[in-house]
């Protein structure tokens, strides 16, 4: 499917947030999807993922959540830089920025009033956080999102604490070799979703590491990445139709 790609800005009060958008070149209306970046920023990999989802029939926006920081894209070999950027975010601001991105999709006549969120690494947590805090989100797919069972700031709430607010199902992916997200945390996340009574599937690839979807990282796992992407597309087609 041919797609249209565009860099845009989205207003948040007096600020302008840069975003990358991709959507099918014709037809529609299509479901809206927010694809959230890793801790390394809105880089080529995230843009490529946005393009892949657009080619599958989604109207995609990827916000630059680090736009308030200088040097807001770092290499995969710069973990300290990524931690610096990630540490600049606060949950309330994240939700406000994500809401602005969703609202920008609403303005397009070729976008259905059905919205999903997905993201990778830090973006996995952001995708889930948005789903529990924004009732426009009808389905969410977090990929190896760390910290979903922990508050982002002292005195705050962990995203999973608000699972009862979910308006749609969850499909979450993790890697069993992920040193950043112990299997015990995956189990805690799964159990909390089960207690909430919400529809959810948690997939744990025992031999996958953190970042297994990214073909620019040593942890890339082609087999699981292909399977997880196909499963995600099918999930969103079912729940955003």
Predicted confidence at residue 139, as pLDDT, reads: 98
In the residue annotation, 136 being an active-site residue is answered as no
* Active-site option among 178, 209, 214, 224: 178
* Active-site option among 19, 91, 138, 210: 210
In the residue annotation, 19 being an active-site residue is answered as no
Rg (CA), the chain: 16
Predicted confidence at residue 155, as pLDDT, reads: 79
Distance CA 208, CA 220 (A): 8
* Apex 216 CA angle, 176 and 105, nearest 5: 90
Asked if 19 contacts 9 with a C-beta cutoff of 8 angstroms, the reply is yes
Predicted confidence at residue 27, as pLDDT, reads: 87
Predicted confidence at residue 153, as pLDDT, reads: 78
Asked if 31 contacts 9 with a C-beta cutoff of 8 angstroms, the reply is no
Distance CA 227, CA 95 (A): 29
Instruction: Say what the pTM is.
Output: 0.97
In the residue annotation, 108 being an active-site residue is answered as no
Predicted confidence at residue 191, as pLDDT, reads: 96
Distance CA 118, CA 131 (A): 10
In order along its 241 residues, the chain shows pLDDT tens digits of 899 999 999 999 999 999 999 999 998 899 999 999 999 999 999 999 999 999 999 999 999 999 999 999 999 999 999 999 999 999 999 999 999 999 999 999 999 999 999 999 999 999 999 999 999 999 999 999 999 998 887 778 999 999 999 999 999 999 999 999 999 999 999 999 999 999 999 999 999 999 999 999 999 999 999 999 999 999 999 999 8
* Active-site option among 121, 138, 209, 224: 121
Q: Which CATH superfamily is domain 3-239 in?
A: Alpha/Beta hydrolase fold, catalytic domain (3.40.50.1820)
Can you give the chain as a three-state secondary structure string? CCEEEEEEEEEECCEEEEEEEEEECCCCCEEEEEEECECCECCHHHHHHHHHHHHCCCEEEEECCCCCCCCCCCCCCCHHHHHHHHCCCCHHHHHHHHHHHHHHHHCCCCEEEEEEEEEECHHHHHHHHHHHHCCCEEEEEEECCCCCCCCCCCCCCCHHHHHHHCCCCEEEEEECCCCCCCHHHHHHHHHHHHHHCCCEEEEEECCCCCCCCCCCCCCCCHHHHHHHHHHHHHHHHHHCC
Predicted confidence at residue 156, as pLDDT, reads: 84
Domain ranges of the chain: 3-239
């Amino acid at each position: 499917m041919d797609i249209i790609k565009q860099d845009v800005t989205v207003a948040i009060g007096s600020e302008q947030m840069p975003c990358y958008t991709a959507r099918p070149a014709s037809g529609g209306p299509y479901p809206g999807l927010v694809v959230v970046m890793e801790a390394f920023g809105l880089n080529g990999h995230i843009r490529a993922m946005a393009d892949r989802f657009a080619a599958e029939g989604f109207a995609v926006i990827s916000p630059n959540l680090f736009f308030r920081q200088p040097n807001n894209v770092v290499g995969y070999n710069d973990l300290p830089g990524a931690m610096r950027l990630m540490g600049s975010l606060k949950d309330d601001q994240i939700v406000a920025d994500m809401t602005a991105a969703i609202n920008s999709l609403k303005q397009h006549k070729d976008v259905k009033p059905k919205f999903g969120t997905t993201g990778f690494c830090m973006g996995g947590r952001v995708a889930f956080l948005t789903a529990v805090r924004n009732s426009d989100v009808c389905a969410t797919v977090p990929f190896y999102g760390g910290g979903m069972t922990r508050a982002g700031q002292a005195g705050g709430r962990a995203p999973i604490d608000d699972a009862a607010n979910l308006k749609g199902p969850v499909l979450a992916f993790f890697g069993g070799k992920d040193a950043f997200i112990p299997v015990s945390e995956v189990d805690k996340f799964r159990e909390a979703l089960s207690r909430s009574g919400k529809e959810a599937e948690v997939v744990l690839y025992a031999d996958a590491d953190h970042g297994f979807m990214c073909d620019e990282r040593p942890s890339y796992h082609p087999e699981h990445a292909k399977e997880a992407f196909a499963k995600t597309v099918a999930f969103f087609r079912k729940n955003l139709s």
